[in-house]
Structure 1
Amino acid sequence: MALVHAARKAVHRGGPEISMDEIATQAKTSKSIIYRYFTDKPGLQLAVGEAVVGQMRDALREAAHTATTPRDSLRSMVAVYLEMIEHSPNVYYFVTRTAPGLPFLDSMNEIVAVPFAQEMNASPADAAAWGAGAVGFVRGSGEWWLESRNTPGGPTREELTARVTAWLWAGPVGVLAKEGRSPK
C-alpha cells in the first residue's frame, strides 16, 4: 500500500519517534486520511512492521537458498540482516521497539534454523531452539553494533558478520579456544 510505503520513508528520514503529523506531511496527505486506514499510530506501526518483516523474510530466504553450504547459508543470512538494519536503523527501531503486537523476528526462527538442522541432522525441537537463540543473538549483536559501529576499533559490518557466523556455528567458547584464547 502506498501509504505504508510513504510512512516508511518518513520514518526513515524522521526517526522512530516521528509524529503522525510529520508522517502525514511527508506522505503529502492529511492525518485524517492516515487515521482512516490505521486507527492509531500503533496500527500504522504494525502495518509498516508487517511490510518490513515480509521484505526481510524474503531476503533471508533468498540468502539461505542461494548459499552452497549450511554455514554459508547462515553467513549470508547474518549479512543480509545486518545490511538491512544498517540501511535504515530508524525503520528498524520503529518496528522493533515501538510496534505493539508484532513478533518482529519470531517469524524468522524457522528460516534461520534450517542451516543448523541440515548440518546437524537436528530434531525439530533442537532446530527450533537453536533458531530462536540464533535470531536473538543476531538481533542483540546487530543492535549493539548499530549503537557502537562508529566507535574506534569497532568491527565493520563484514567483520561482525564473520564473527557472529563463527560464534553461532561453533559457539563462542569453541571459537575462542581454537584461536588460543581460553575463556575465563
Structure 2
Amino acid sequence: MNGRDPDRRKALLDAADRAILREGPEVSMAAIAAEAGITKPILYRHFGDKSGLYQALADRHVRRVISQLRSEFDRARTDPRRRARAAIEIYLDLISANLNLYRFLFHRASAEDTSVRSHMTALVRGLGEELGGVLADEEVVADPVRAQILGHAFVGMVQTTGDWWLEHPEVERAQVVDGLVDVIVAAFTPRSAAVSRARRT
C-alpha cells in the first residue's frame, strides 16, 4: 500500500482522529504514528509531510462541517429565523462535540503552519461566498454586493463567537444561539436596512 491508497489514507486519518480525541490538541506526531502502528517518517510519507497531514485532516473535518451546515440550512428555506437557528445549532453542536479536533485544527495546526492557516481560511471564505450567493439568488438580499458582505459577516461572526463560547462553558448554548440569530435576522429587516441607508446620507 502507498500514500495514494484511499483505504490506507482513511485508516491513517482515523488513527490521527483517535489520538487527537484521546490526547488533545497538543498530541505529538509520534503518538499519532503509534496509534496507526507505524513510525513518524512513514506517517509523513503517506501525506508528503506534516503539513500534508494537517491539510488532510482539515479537509476531512471542515468539509464535513460545511456539508452538514448546508443540509441544515436547506431544511427551512421559507423561514430566515428558523434557517439561521438550524445552521448555528448544528455548528455549535459539532465543534463542542469534537472540541479537541476543533482546537487542533483551528489553533495548533493553523498556528504551526502558514499553508494550513491559508487552507483553513480559504475553506471558511468559500462558505461565506456560498452563503452570500444563496442570499442573492433567493432574493433574501436584493443587492448582490450586500449579500456577499452579509454572507462573509455571518460566517465570521458565528465562527468567532463559537470559538469564544468554547472558552466560556458557563454561558448557555441557547443564549449564544439566540444572540446570533437576532443579529442575523435583524440584518434582513426593512428597518435595519433603512437605518443603514440613513446613516450613509
Give TM-score scaled by structure 1 length.
0.81
Give the number of the structure with larger relative contact order, counting CA–CA contacts within 8 Å between residues 6 or more apart.
1
**How many residue pairs end up in the alignment?**
169
Gaps of 5+ in 2: 1-9, 111-115, 193-201
Question: Highest CA radius of gyration, 1 or 2?
Answer: 2
Give the superposition deviation at 1:159: 2.6
Q: Please list the CA deviations of residues 87-114 of structure 1 after superposition, one character each: whole Å capped at 9, or x if unmatched.
A: 1122112222223232242222134336
Preserved contact between residue 17 and residue 94 of structure 1 (Cα < 8 Å): yes
Aligned residues of 2:133 and 2:147 also touching (Cα < 8 A): yes
Whichever residue aligns with residue 67 of structure 2, its letter is D
Equivalent residue number for residue 91 of structure 2:
81
Instruction: Give 1:35 shift.
Output: 1.1
Question: Which residue number in structure 2 is paired with residue 93 of structure 1?
Answer: 103
Q: Does 1:148 align with 2:185?
A: no
- The unaligned stretches of length 5 or more in structure 1 are 176-184
- Residue pair 1:70, 1:116 contacting (<8 A) in 2 also: no
CA offset at residue 79 of structure 1?
Answer: 0.7
Structure 1 residues 63 and 111: CA distance shift in structure 2, 3 A: farther
Partner of 2:198: none
Residues 128-147 of structure 1: matches in 2 within 5 Å?
128-147=148-167
Does the 8 A contact of 1:75 with 1:165 survive in 2?
A: yes
Q: What CA distance in whole angstroms lies between the structure 2 residues aligned with 1:114 and 1:77?
A: 16
Within the alignment, does 1:70 sit opposite 2:80 as a pair?
A: yes
Q: Assess if the C-alpha contact under 8 Å between 1:45 and 1:94 holds in 2.
A: no
- CA distance in 2: counterparts of 1:62 and 1:52, whole angstroms: 15
Structure 1 distance, partners of 2:36, 2:130, is 34
Judge conservation of contact 2:80–2:185 (CA < 8 Å) in 1: no
Which residue of the partner structure matches residue 58 of structure 1?
67
Identical aligned residues as a percent: 32
Q: State the shift of 1:166 in Å.
A: 1.1
Q: What's the TM-score once normalised by structure 2's chain length?
A: 0.75
Whether the aligned pair in 2 keeps the contact of 1:7 and 1:27 (CA below 8 Å) is yes
Distance 1:57 1:140, change over 3 A: same
CA distance, structure 1, for counterparts of residue 84 and residue 62 of structure 2: 18
**Residues in 2 aligned to 1:114 and 1:161: alpha-carbon distance in whole angstroms:** 23
Cα 1:80–1:61, aligned 2, differ >3 Å: closer, same or farther?
same
The aligned amino acid for 1:34 is L
CA distance in 1, matches of 2:145, 2:14: 37
State the distance in 1 between where 2:166 and 2:53 align. Answer: 24
Q: Which of 28, 32, 41 pairs up with 1:32? A: 41
